[in-house]
Structure 1
Amino acid sequence: MAKTLLVNFLLLALGGSRLWAQTRTITGTVTAYEETGGFAGVAVLVKGTTTGTVTDVNGKYSLSVPESGTALVFSAVGMETVEEPIGGRTTVDVKLKSDTRQLTEIVITALGTKTERDRFASSISTLDGKNIAKTGETSLLTGLSGKASGVLITRNGGDPGAGAYIQIRGQNTINGNAQPLFIVDGMPVSNASDNIGTAAGNGIVQQSRINDINPEDIERMEVLKGASAAALWGTRAANGVIVITTKKGRNTDGKVNISFKSAVSFDRVNKMPPLQRSYGQGSGGLYNQGQRNSFGDRIADRTGGSDTFVTNPTAPGYQGFVTFPDGTQRYAITPGTAANPHGGKNSRETFDHTSDVFQTGHFTDNNLSISGGNDRTTFLLSYSNLNQEGIVKAFSSYRRNTARINVASQFTDWLRVSANVGYTNMFSSRIQQGDNVDGIMLSGLRTPPDFDNSYYVGTYTNPAGQVFPNAHVSYRNPLGRDLSTIYSNPVWNINNNRNTTDVDRIIGTLELDITPTPWLSVTGRTGIDNYTDNRLVLLKG
């Protein structure tokens, strides 16, 4: 038994000696022809294996090489790769030469051909689609803001999906339209933001149609500034060009890639203008119900308690009354005089007109992408659903659903066909804002601090006993006597006035590339950009 154990031990020892003898240590120094001293950071690999090391700060290396290793491969960024046979050597020194070939940035011309950026006459800014999508903006144009030099983007308003004005530096025109031309996958598309309405544009902010494109579908954007941009696309490009290239499928050796991305964001009013809360409705230090000014009596000097109304139909100043949905009734209040600046106004209560109108807005954005392909055919399918509720209560929303399919196939060595089709359905609801007489900001900022805007509609009964239901009530029309809704209560506005847009749009291109010989290429491209824009305007009053 003891002999057997001894033999086994000897065999194991001999086997270990054989394994140890299968590797050898190679050392050396790597230098560069153009420089003196060692070359640090050079990768040294045994050819055909993953065994390797890197040179130290002096360009030296030491590597254990198996008996089967026949050559070492030396590589570094900006240098030519060198393959050096080992033979029977234990020291291998090499010198590396600079690789004179350099990477050049490529741009896509109007015809879809590639050219080096340095040979292109226009000034070009290139943006990666990821940098636009990660801004968290729901619209393409606002996502572009601040990403390209010389590009001015002004948002038209804070409504969900609001349009934006874009101007490339140095472009001016006497007709007021200095927006650039947009190209999507080689085809010009519309960026119209028609504001159809009444005087002063009716206070409604319309969308820019380029925002129909889902930012997650964009591979890259190129901003062209210069005269040669017009040479490529004609006079429409006189104000510059923004070229959008959508994502395409890639050769994945038949594998399918599935990607899902979801985002949630919240919006709120950052800051409101400071409003005075010391003086009541009226002017000259005297309270006056229904007066447009807010420099009446001092609210703090009032007696407190309930207001004194003119409820007797035979009393002077009787104007009837308004009944609100909760049963509350409001009558006229006696105006102030020099002897009694408060008149019948006793309450010291003031109201927050901001909370009547504004809320915390939010949006959710879900994106699904499926792509793949082989050496002949590639494809990409994508779907996006965006839902946004604005910071204004009630009718302030934006919904966008987009679907895209991009397919390319190399039918023969000389024929390649590609198709890119995108569909968008967009619905938005907006309110009037700004300084027009039905805008929420005009009356919202002018409303006296002692008037409650939450009572915005009621049934008015005049002194003759006539009844008028659904009467509009505001600080200038506190009883609903005036049947007009001019200078409307902002709460009335957001709950009654509607302005909606429903858009269906399809953008598609079909391209044939024929290469009969290596020196001749023929490209044929056709496309469509068609959309319907249905708008509904409802103004009660």
Structure 2
Amino acid sequence: MRTYWLQNALIKSPTRLYYFLLLFIASLSPCAAHAQSVSVNINLTDKPLSAFIQSIELQTDFKFFYEQQQVDVQQHITVNVQNVSINAALEQALKNTNITYTISEKRILLIQKQNSTSLQSDKMVEIKGQVTDKNGIPVIGANILVKGSNLGCITDIDGNYSLKVPAKSTIVVSYIGYTTQEVTLKGNNFQRIIMEEDSKMLDDVVVVGYGTVKKRDLTGSVSSVKGDDLSLNGVSSIGHALEGKAAGLYIRQNSAQPGGGLDILVRGAGSVNASNDPLYIVDGFPIAKLDQASGGDAKMDPGTQGILNFLNPNDVESIEVLKDASATSIYGARAANGVVIITTKRGKEGKARISYSYNYSFQKYTDNYDLLSLQEWMIEKNNTTWEHWLWTNNVSPWGNRTLEEAQANPVNGIDYSRPYQDSDIKNAGPGTDWLGLITRDGQIHEHNINLQGGSESTQYMVSFNYYNHQGIVKNSGMTRYTAKANIDQKFLNIFKAGLNLTLTRIDNDNTQLGSGKFENSGIIRSAIQMGPNIQAYDKETDTYPINPLLGQQPNPYSLLNNTDKGRTDRLLGNIFIEATPLSGLTLRVNAGLDHANIDRKTYQPRSTLNGKNLNGVAYIYNTANNQYLMEATATYQRTFNDIHNVNLLAGTSYEKFNYDASELGNNNFITDAFLWNNMDAGTGTKITKSTSTENKMMSYFFRAGYILKNRYLLTATLRADGASVFAKNNKWGYFPSVAAGWTLSEEDFMKNINWLSNLKLRLSWGQTGNADISTNAFASYGAQGSWINSEYKTISGVMKSRLENPDLKWETTTEWNLGLDFGFLKSRITGSVELYQRVISDLLNYKPLNSYQEVKQIILKSATKLFSVLLASK
């Protein structure tokens, strides 16, 4: 029975969800037009009122709300009606009871009848006002009721109300999630009422795998962050905004490019060669990580890209980080490193609302390297050469000679000579400021437009975002265009369909980061090491000098002449349809596609060191990623006898991953003007490469949850995954978990501790897997060229580059987690203490062989034990 008691009604904080209402609990009119148009058939003889409520909810999409202390749903009634309106059925069912009702939208409120005859003789006055929260945001659907009567109304979309009431009466203002207030009317007929949140009524919903759960009913370790709590100004990725917001989440920038990648680790790293990245779920779709191709040119490494760059951070409604195995095992083979679930904003019932925001951010390079000026460098050079001369001549402490002996008889007859005299140092000037030449003040411009609205059956959210970041390193930047649409449609009372669609284009201007030292140095490393004595650009020779002491390390100023353009076009979309044929039973089918095409084009002109050596170097890379998802789930939730709550989930999913990549390169161009646009103009060694892979995964999963008396919690999960990346003997992996919780604050012996809002003890155990390894790791073939004669001609052939290991199996992560959740002072102070152990067994690694390049093997295991404390206030 989908019946909600007011004191236990589940909502999200209205201050965070401005329009979305779970219920209107009062109305001026005792009937609504829609209720008149819906017909029901009921045949009950001497049955409890609860049976009548259940019958209405099964036949319609109306829901009942009532105070358990005031409305006795166990009293027996008799109703025999055929093809009548809901109003008519209610009138007959309640005619011999002390219960009346009001209808608002599809919500039926049952309340006790009150004696209102005294009101008829009182003088009536009109009152007006507005109901808001503490932040001034209107509270929509708040119940305004004259105390001791049924006279009342609800606030409109702006929180306003207007009502004729007896003079000197008292009005009662209530709304789920807020403390009820009584206001006595005074001379001023305009009453502004500010509602205060009721921490006991607020029961946040947390998104978990394939569903939601009340935060108080969690048995796993989950950190939840609402979109309103994130600082979004100027961030390219929602990952940046998560820093410091979720306990157990480690975030570090790993690339200097604008929009560069982040290391996001949940409770640290454990795997040796498999990925340590968590699994990311966006609106129910597990997304892939996309990077620009680096190709075979280490000098032009573009760095990594943030996995969440394609999302507009302003679209995010909430983020949940699933940390322990009890929470993550529902995702099985890819959840060993935790799961990050991102839910985007959806449409809201009400008139269309459009919002626009603009953000400008300014970036300055403040944590600068303390590099030597030319004068300081010359002094240090003198000191260095002096120390070197002493060392060469075995002067103490490097030898047993005195300074006088060395000066009288120097080694090789070479006297010490200062490279720079005092006059040289005095007149030297500051020298070359390499970091100043290659950096600038960064700027970020962001425009965001959002449209939300909808009717009772159709809700929509559409947004557009433009983000432009000019990086601190010159010629680096990122521009993103994002369009998003979320649409929900209800029909035929039991069906709901939805669309989630995100379209993104990202244009990258990459700077040369490099991937090593000397000739592979990037622009930052070269700028730090080059030295202030080297000229940035020689106008006379039209060249960019290099430091002869640093081998082939490039001149950093010349690297600004490189051209490196990247473009990523991505479409992430999924559609779903839900059916609720029975009360508490939800059937859902979800299908989706994550398509991405990544192009990258680079050119190194002859003004750079590498370009000069090869007379210009051009590369074109193209990568296509396609991920397909088909998923079906069945969820059943029901409460028996008001004390037994059961939640069951069963489902299956099928995923396919396609990856295609190609690379084209050439050098020795007659001019730099063509860039990469005329590859045939190069007369060097052409590079042509391509690859294609396909992987598949089939999964079955089940979860059962049981709650007794809102205080004893038990959850069990099992998932089976079959993946094509593993060898034939171990295609399938099985990942169980079990968790228990005890809400001590619900026990009678804790009820009198007023300052304690929540106290819950939980314990969990579970296993997850790591299937994020190289494609077809059990065997690999490739083309190999070999020299065959003294003329250096080659012939290509096919060889086995990696030997098969038929016993190769999953990396398995086993976790224990003991946690204590607490809340004090009406949950103004909340937190948790957790102790957990993580053991990763069957770690995967490559073993070099003589006859084959390598073989995938299982090596040792790793273990992690950690203790964490979280404390928050609001």
The TM-score with structure 2 as length reference comes to: 0.42
Which residues of 2 match residues 109-128 of structure 1 at below 5 A? 109-111=208-210, 113-128=211-226
Q: Deviations over 1:35-83 (max 9, x none)?
A: xxxxxxxx99555479xxxxxxxxxxxxxx9757888648699999799
Match of 1:319? none
Name the counterpart of 1:244: 342
Distance across 2 between alignment mates of 1:493 and 1:372: 50
User: Alignment partner for residue 503 of structure 2, among 411, 423, 428?
Assistant: 423
User: Structure 1 residue aligned with 2:469, among 373, 383, 388?
Assistant: 388
1:168 aligns with 2:248: no
Change in 2 beyond 3 A, CA 1:247/1:295: farther
1:105 aligns with 2:186: no
Instruction: Give identity over the alignment, percent.
Output: 27
Q: Which has the higher strand share?
A: 2
Map 1:119-158; keep pairs closer than 5 Å.
119-158=217-256
Q: CA deviation at 1:440?
A: 1.7
Structure 1 residues 517 and 164, CA gap change in structure 2 (3 angstroms): same
In the TM superposition, 1:459-498 aligns within 5 A as 460=541, 471-476=543-548, 486-494=552-560, 496-498=561-563
1:443 aligns with one of 526, 542, 562: 526
Which letter does structure 2 place at the counterpart of 1:372?
G
Secondary structure, counterpart of 1:443 in structure 2: helix
Cα deviation digits, residues 208-235 of structure 1 (max 9, x gap): 2321111011111111111133321121
Q: State the secondary structure of the residue aligned to 1:270.
A: coil
Superposition deviation, residue 256 in structure 1? 1.3
Q: Measure the CA separation in 1 of the matches of 2:312 and 2:287.
A: 14
Contact preservation (8 Å) 1:260, 1:366 = yes
Distance 1:294 1:276, change over 3 A: farther
State how 1:58-77 maps to structure 2 within 5 Å.
73=172
1:251 Cα deviation from its structure 2 partner? 0.3
The residue number in structure 1 matching 2:590 is: 525
> Residue 527 and residue 133 in structure 1: after superposition, are their counterparts in 2 closer, same or farther (change >3 A)?
farther
- CA shift, 1:521, in A, is 1.8
Q: How does 1:135-534 map to 2 (within 5 A)?
A: 135-170=233-268, 172-175=270-273, 177-193=275-291, 196-198=294-296, 203-252=301-350, 255-277=351-373, 278=375, 285=382, 341-342=419-420, 348-351=428-431, 352-393=433-474, 395-433=475-513, 436-437=517-518, 438-453=521-536, 455=537, 460=541, 471-476=543-548, 486-494=552-560, 496-534=561-599
Question: What is the TM-score of this pair, normalised by structure 1?
Answer: 0.66
Q: Is the 8 A contact 1:386 1:400 kept in 2?
A: yes
Structure 1 contact 104–116 (Cα < 8 Å) conserved: yes
Q: CA deviation at 1:119?
A: 3.3
Distance (Å, rounded) in 2 between the aligned partners of 1:80 and 1:360: 50
Once the two structures are superposed, residues 190-218 of structure 1 have per-residue CA deviations (whole angstroms, 9 ceiling, x without a partner) of 12446634476855322123211110111
421-430 or 121-130, which moves further after superposition?
121-130
Show CA shifts across 1:388-436 (max 9, x none): 101111x201000000111111122011111010000001112123653
| Aligned AA (2:484) | R
Cα-to-partner distance string for 1:342-397 (whole Å, 9 max, x where unaligned): 5997962333223211111101000011111010101111100011101111x201
Q: Deviations over 1:434-483 (max 9, x none)?
A: 65333222331223323331x16x675xxxxxxxxx64423439xxxxxx
In 2, distance between residues paired with 1:66 and 1:369?
40
* CA 471–353 in structure 1, closer or farther in 2 if over 3 Å, else same: closer
Q: Which amino acid aligns with 1:285?
A: N
Residue identity in the other structure for 1:414 = I
> Does the 8 Å CA contact 2:462/2:486 hold for their aligned counterparts?
yes
Relative to structure 1, is the Cα distance of residues 154 and 520 closer, same or farther in structure 2, using a 3 angstrom cutoff? same
Change (3 A) 1:203 1:286: farther
Task: Tell me if the contact between 1:230 and 1:236 (Cα under 8 Å) persists in the aligned partners.
Answer: no
Is the Cα contact below 8 Å between 2:382 and 2:418 reproduced in 1?
A: no
CA contact (8 A) 2:378 2:420 kept: no
Tell me, yes or no, if the aligned pair for 2:292 and 2:600 is still in contact at 8 Å: no
Quickly say closer, same or farther: Cα 1:118–1:195, change in 2 above 3 A: farther
CA distance in 1 between partners of 2:386 and 2:314 (Å): 49
CA-to-partner distance for each residue in 1:233-281, whole Å, 9 max, x for gaps?
12111211111111111000xx210100100001111122222233557
Q: For the residues of structure 1 that align with 2:363 and 2:209, how far apart are their CA atoms?
A: 39
Further displaced range: 382-391 or 352-361: 352-361
The alpha-carbon distance between structure 1 residues 439 and 295, as it changes in their structure 2 partners (threshold 3 A), is farther
When Rg is computed on C-alpha atoms for both structures, the one with the higher figure is 1
- Please give the alpha-carbon distance, in whole angstroms, between the structure 1 residues aligned to 2:376 and 2:204: 65
Q: 1:471 to 1:114 in 2, by over 3 A?
A: same
Q: Give ranges in structure 1 of 5+ residues lacking alignment.
A: 1-20, 25-42, 51-64, 84-98, 288-292, 297-336, 461-469, 478-483
Q: Partner of 2:692 in structure 1?
A: none
Report the secondary structure of 1:141's partner residue: helix
Greater relative CO (CA pairs within 8 A, separation 6+): 1
> CA 1:129–1:81 in structure 2 vs 1: closer, same or farther (change >3 Å)?
closer
Distance in 2 between residues matched to 1:81 and 1:272, nearest whole Å:
56
Tell me: CA distance 1:471–1:405, structure 2 relative to 1, closer, same or farther (3 Å).
same
Q: C-alpha separation between the residues in 2 aligned to 1:374 and 1:117?
A: 29
Length, aligned pairs only: 409
Alpha carbons 2:292, 2:566 under 8 Å: kept? no
The answer to whether the Cα contact below 8 Å between 1:229 and 1:238 also exists between their aligned partners in 2 is no
Aligned partner of residue 370 in structure 2, secondary structure: coil
**Structure 2: which amino acid aligns with 1:502?**
R
**Aligned amino acid, residue 570 of structure 2:** R
Aligned counterparts of 1:380 and 1:424: Cα–Cα separation in 2? 16
How far does residue 155 in structure 1 lie from its aligned partner after superposition?
0.4
Q: Could you tell me how far 1:516 is from its partner in structure 2?
A: 1.6
Report the aligned-residue RMSD.
Answer: 3.9
Bigger drift between 405-414 and 436-445 goes to 436-445
SS at 1:503 equivalent? strand
